[in-house]
Amino acid sequence: MYKAVVFDLDGTLTDTITTIAYYGNNALKAYGYPEIDVNMYKIFVGDGTRILVKRMMEYVGEDSPEIYEKVFKMYCEEYDKDTMYLTTVYDGMQELLKELKARGMKLGVVSNKPHFTMIDVLKNFFGEDMFDGFYGVREGVPVKPDPVSLLQILDDFGVKPTECIYVGDTKTDMMTGKNAGAYTVGVLWGFRDRAELEEHKADAIVEKPCEILGILE
C-alpha cells in the first residue's frame, strides 16, 4: 500500500521550460552569444543548474571556465529575482494534489532546482501547506539521480521506499526512483518523451495527472 507520492518539479508539477529558456538566453545574450531555441532547453534540463549552463555553453561552442561562471552567475541571479515569470502549473495538477491529500497521502517534492528557488515556486503556486516536505539542490548533497534526497524525505515521512510513488518526466527521475527503491511513474506532459521513460524502466507512464490516482487503487 502506498503512503507517499513524491514529485519532481520542473516538467512534472510546473511548466518552466519557457522560464528557463528566457533566463538562459538573456544570460547568453549579455555575453555576446546567440539565443538557443526553447526546445533545446528540454534536452538541457534535468540534472541541475550547473549542468544546464554547461550544456548551453557547449551548444554555443564556448569552453572557457571564466565565461561559464559569469553566465551561470547571471542566470541564477536573474532567475531568483522573479521565479514565477512565464511559469505555469500543469492542467489537472492542483486537482490531483488535493485528492491525494484527501486520501491521506504524504506529499513531497525532490528537485534538481536550487532549494531556495524551489521553495519560492512551491509557496506561490501551491501554498505553504500542500507539501509535507521538499528538497532542492543543497550544498554538499548530491543531485539526482543520487537517491539521497528522496530517501531523506521518506525517512522524514516515516515511509519505506516500497511505499512511495516517485513521479517525474525524465530519465534522471526514473533513475532516482529506481535507485531509492520506489515505484516510478513517468509523465508525458513534461520535457521528454515516452521512449526515454520506457528505456529507463518507468514502472508506469501516464498522459494526465488524474491517471496517477488509478495506480493507488
Q: Describe the crossing of helices 65-81 and 49-59 by its angle, rounded to 10 degrees.
A: 120
**Single-letter amino acid code for the residue at 190:** G
pLDDT at 207 over 90: yes
Strand-pair partners of 178: none
Residues 10 and 34 in one domain: no
What tens digit of pLDDT does each residue of 152-193 get? 999 999 999 999 999 999 999 999 999 999 999 999 999 999
Residues 62 and 150 in one domain: no
Neighbouring residues of 147: CB distance < 8 A, sequence distance ≥ 6: 176, 177, 179, 180
Alpha-carbon distance of 142 to 159, in angstroms, equals 21
Which among 47, 58, 22, 71 is positioned nearest to 169, based on CA atoms?
47
What tens digit of pLDDT does each residue of 39-84 get? 999 999 999 999 999 999 999 999 999 999 999 999 999 999 999 9
At residue 188, φ and ψ (nearest 5 deg) are -95, 0
Structural Rg of the chain based on CA atoms: 17
Q: Which domain holds residue 150?
A: 4-15+87-215
Residues 204 and 130 in one domain: yes
The Cα-based distances of 72 to 30, 39, 55, 77, 173 in angstroms read 12, 20, 11, 9, 23
CB distance 108 to 4 below 8 Å? yes
Where residue 25 sits, what CATH number does that domain have?
A: 1.10.150.240
Residues 29 and 120 in one domain: no
Residues 102 and 179 in one domain: yes
Residues 57 and 99 in one domain: no
The enclosing H or E element of 105 equals none
Which among 68, 45, 72, 47 is positioned nearest to 58, based on CA atoms?
68
Residues 107 and 211 in one domain: yes
Out of 81, 114, 132, pick the residue that ends a domain. 81
Where residue 174 sits, what CATH number does that domain have?
A: 3.40.50.1000
What tens digit of pLDDT does each residue of 113-152 get? 999 899 999 999 999 999 999 999 999 999 999 999 999 9
Cell of 39: 526546445
Residues 149 and 73 in one domain: no
Residues 109 and 198 in one domain: yes
State how many domains the chain has.
2
Out of 50, 81, 112, pick the residue that ends a domain. 81
Alpha-carbon distance of 167 to 20, in angstroms, equals 21
Residues 27 and 116 in one domain: no
User: How open is the CA angle 8-14-19, to the nearest 5 degrees?
Assistant: 115
